[in-house]
């Protein structure tokens, strides 16, 4: 019992130290990036350029008004996109399509940096997530009728609040987000390092081994995948980056993992939030899971064929 307590305390202390360092690093990203994005949104620039996405919206069978929550979610925050969706009269089918797009491609600057630090180039990560969002929404839209019908933007969206009020709203939202990040990161890192100290992680890897094969991922990626699927890229960033630095995974294995969790992460929280808006749960969960599998296996096939071609050239 004394040895158990000693290992548990050691794991928790390690988790607190590493969790705090990761929290500070994440805040250094969140604060400036969110401030710039909030200023752009306040300026009205997003409202002015949403027409540029009209062709894209028509491709995925959504009205032009859907561009606004999508752009905001991609640049500002996931929650800001939801806030806009709440005040627009979208149908449940339109909400489902927008939600699917946003769940795959949101907070691209912040989460792109996290993925860049843990194994996947930020440009590649961004392109993969946007492509996955477009293709997934396009496929799912074929099962819904009349999702492209226009809606009327509410006048309230055209009213720009005073700068001081907008700045205060940003500060409060950022403070709440950082507070949530702090709590979750600390809990996750303490639980992870406590489990590692007690020797429990091997059971986690063993339990998820069959699923890793289906996903096209290495068995050793189980801890990172479970963290991202359960907590997301932002909240699980401390564990994801720390595990990536260990060197247990090859460069290719890290890329496979990052592509998978970039498309399919934070399964519980994000799905629950959109269910409250009337989205269909099956169309939120299954397409992302399938898209992640297809993306990873497609990359593995490309890498395999590329290796074969290089091998032939060497021996020609």
**DSSP characters over 239-261:** HHHHHHHTT-S-HHHHHHHHHHH
Model pTM score: 0.78
pLDDT computed for residue 156 by the predictor: 45
pLDDT computed for residue 154 by the predictor: 46
**DSSP one-letter code for 162:** P
**11, 13, 14, 15 alpha-carbon torsion, rounded to 10°:** 80
Cβ 147 vs Cβ 62: under 8 Å? yes
- The domain segmentation of the chain, as residue ranges, is 2-314
Dist. CA 219–CA 215, nearest whole Å: 10
Nearest to residue 76, comparing CAs of 137, 140, 30? 30
**228, 125, 117, 210 alpha-carbon torsion, rounded to 10°:** 40
Residues with Cβ within 8 Å of 237's Cβ and at least 6 positions away in sequence, in order, are 22, 26, 114, 118, 185
pLDDT computed for residue 311 by the predictor: 62
pLDDT computed for residue 290 by the predictor: 96
Instruction: For helices 237-245 and 108-117, give the axis angle rounded to 10 degrees.
Output: 30
pLDDT computed for residue 47 by the predictor: 60
pLDDT computed for residue 132 by the predictor: 95
Both structure tokens of 274: 């959109």
Digitized pLDDT (tens) for each residue of the chain, 316 residues in all: 677 788 788 878 888 888 888 788 778 877 887 787 677 767 766 566 656 667 778 888 998 878 888 988 898 778 778 877 876 778 899 999 999 999 999 999 999 999 999 989 999 999 999 999 999 999 999 998 878 776 655 444 556 778 888 889 888 888 887 887 788 778 877 887 787 777 776 777 788 889 999 999 998 898 889 888 887 888 888 888 888 888 888 999 999 999 999 999 988 778 877 887 788 889 999 999 999 999 999 988 888 788 777 666 665 5
Quote the Cα angle for 126-25-121, to 5°: 25
Distance of CA 256 to the CA centre of its chain: 15
Q: What share of the chain is helix, strand, coil (3-state, %, to 5)?
A: 80, 0, 20
Classify residue 203 as exposed, middle or buried by CB count within 10 Å of its CB (0-12, 13-18, 19+). Answer: exposed
Instruction: For helices 251-263 and 222-235, give the axis angle rounded to 10 degrees.
Output: 50
pLDDT computed for residue 111 by the predictor: 93
């Amino acid at each position: 019992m004394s040895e158990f307590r000693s290992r548990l305390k050691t794991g928790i202390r390690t988790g607190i130290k590493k969790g705090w360092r990761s929290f500070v690093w994440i805040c250094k990203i969140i604060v400036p990036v969110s401030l710039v994005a909030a200023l752009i949104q306040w300026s009205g620039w997003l409202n002015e350029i949403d027409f540029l996405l009209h062709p894209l919206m028509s491709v995925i069978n959504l009205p032009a008004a859907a561009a606004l929550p999508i752009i905001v979610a991609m640049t500002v925050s996931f929650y800001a996109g939801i806030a806009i969706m709440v005040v627009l009269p979208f149908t449940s089918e339109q909400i489902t399509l927008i939600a699917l797009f946003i769940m795959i491609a949101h907070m691209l600057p912040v989460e792109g940096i996290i993925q860049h630090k843990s194994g996947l180039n930020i440009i590649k990560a961004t392109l993969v997530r946007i492509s996955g969002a477009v293709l997934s929404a396009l496929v799912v839209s074929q099962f819904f009728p009349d999702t492209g019908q226009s809606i009327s933007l509410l006048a309230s969206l055209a009213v720009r609040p005073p700068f001081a009020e907008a700045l205060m709203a940003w500060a409060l939202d950022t403070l709440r987000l950082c507070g949530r990040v702090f709590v979750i990161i600390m809990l996750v890192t303490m639980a992870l390092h406590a489990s590692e100290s007690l020797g429990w992680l091997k059971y986690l890897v063993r339990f998820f081994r069959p699923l890793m094969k289906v996903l096209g991922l290495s068995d050793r990626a189980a801890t990172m995948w479970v963290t991202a699927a359960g907590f997301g890229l932002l909240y699980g960033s401390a564990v994801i980056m720390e595990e990536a630095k260990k060197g247990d995974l090859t460069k290719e294995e890290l890329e496979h993992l990052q592509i998978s969790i970039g498309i399919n992460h934070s399964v519980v929280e994000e799905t629950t939030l959109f269910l409250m808006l009337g989205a269909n749960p099956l169309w939120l969960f299954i397409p992302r899971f399938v898209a992640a599998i297809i993306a990873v296996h497609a990359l593995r096939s490309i890498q395999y064929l590329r290796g074969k071609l290089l091998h032939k050239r060497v021996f020609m």
